[in-house]
Structure 1
Amino acid sequence: MIGRLSLVALGLVTALPAAAQTGAAAVEVPVLSRAVARGQLLGQDDFASEPRTPAQARNALPVGDAVGKETTRLLPAGTVVRANDVIAPRLVRRGEPVTITIRSAGLAIATGGRALASAGAGEMVRVVNLSTNRTLDAVVEGPDAVRVTAP
Structure 2
Amino acid sequence: MSVLLALMLLGAGPAEDVQVAVLSHPIEKGTRLERGDFDSEARAPAAARGALSADDASGMEAARNLTAGNIVRRSDLMKPQLVRRGEPVTIRIVSGALVITSSGRALNGGGQGEMVRVVTTTTNRTLDGTIDGSGSVRIAAP
State the TM-score, normalizing by the size of structure 1. Answer: 0.82
CA distance in 1, matches of 2:128, 2:94: 14
Whether 1:142 aligns to 2:120 is: no
Q: Percent identity?
A: 53
SS of residue paired to 2:82: strand
Whether 1:93 aligns to 2:90 is: no
Q: Deviations for 1:46-75, whole angstroms, at most 9, x for unmatched residues? A: 111101111210100122210011101111
Structure 2 counterpart of 1:42: 33
CA apart distance, 1:45: 0.7
- Quick one: which of 93, 115, 119 aligns to 1:124? 115
SS of residue paired to 1:132: coil
Structure 1 counterpart of 2:6: none
Structure 2 counterpart of 1:113: 104
Structure 2 counterpart of 1:82: 73
CA RMSD of aligned residues (A): 1.0
Structure 2 counterpart of 1:11: none
Aligned length in residues? 129
Structure 2 counterpart of 1:33: 24
Structure 2 counterpart of 1:5: none
Gaps of 5+ in 1: 1-22
Q: Select the structure of larger CA radius of gyration.
A: 1
CA apart distance, 1:24: 3.9
CA distance in 1, matches of 2:56, 2:102: 36
CA distance in 1, matches of 2:23, 2:78: 16
